[in-house]
Amino acid sequence: MKVLITGGAGYIGSVTNACLRQQGYETVVFDNLSLGHAQAVGDTKLIVGDLRNREDIDRVFTQDAFDAVIHFAAYSLAGESMEKPYEYYDNNLRGALNLLEAIRRHGNPSIIFSSTSAVYGYPDKIPVTEEARIAPVSVYGSSKCMVEEMIEWYGRIYGMRYVNLRYFNAAGAMPDGNLGEHHTNESHIIPLALEVAVGKRKRFEVYGKDYETPDGTCIRDYIHVVDLAYAHIQSVEYLAKGSASVALNLGVGRGYSNLEVLETIERVTGRKVSRIFASRRPGDPAKLWADNTKAKGVLSWEPKYSDMEIIIKTAWKWHTEHTEGYK
């Protein structure tokens, strides 16, 4: 089977590409490299282009026929989205619409969409099921919600089949240390804390210590990036069988507090992570973790790497072997 991966030079996309190739899939990566890294693609065919340009993505489909498309390409920082709403809606919505039109005009391959738990906003109940109210509280979450709706309408009108995957917090790196997390402006807790551990940063800021949680800090569901990658592969296989379109939560089904994450980092690395407490960030719920029962049943999927210690060990290997990321 041949799979097109948009945003395949990014963090989750590059790991998914590597895992697909390990499983014998033929892949093509499409990325504008504004956030991704060509080095992360290896010897996979890389087409540099922008989804906002219809001609760019149409050209990809005229060159190759695909059995499935995995759509990662998007802006994905909730905080930034509140400062740059136009850029987020323009990039995430226009890019997705151009992709859906290209898919429709070129054989209608299935699509696996990289959505987010941010579509739920502040969930009423924890753990979060797929039946939870959709009520995003950021432009980022709103844009992902809208793309899910676009895909659903293309499914109803044109018979396009899809899996919308609502991620919780992706973390970790490939166990061999070859691929990992490298963002120009890092905002995620584990790489930021590891930068403190390796001496690139002086201290780690913990936002809020007065939440209604056991240690007062936010609790989140962290899923290993390899487990995420295999959920995409199993989604491709699920749709290849002719199975019905579906939306699924991808998480481990338990949460770790910010302090638990930092303590695990200190234990794994043997280094102190200096920290200071800052005020809460607007929009951060106290607790958020997934009910992943549906994904396990539908995809026959099971997280294998998502113990926090394994996540930290693989991320630490990446950070110590690639202190400057992909530079």
Provide the b/e sequence for 271-289 (b: ≥16 CB within 10 Å). Answer: eebeeeeeeeeeebebbbb
Q: Please report how the helices 139-158 and 95-105 are oriented relative to each other, as an axis angle in degrees rounded to 10.
A: 20
Per DSSP bridges, beta strands 219-220 and 256-257 are: antiparallel
Amino acid residing at 147: V
CA-wise closest residue to 167 among 248, 77, 285, 250: 250
**Is 140 labeled as catalytic in the residue annotation?**
yes
> For 47, phi and psi rounded to 5 degrees?
-110, 120
Q: Which of 11, 88, 140, 154 is catalytic?
A: 140
Cβ proximity of 252 and 304 under 8 Å: no
* Integer angstrom CA distances of residue 29 from 7, 46, 69, 232: 7, 5, 10, 15
Residues belonging to the active site: 140
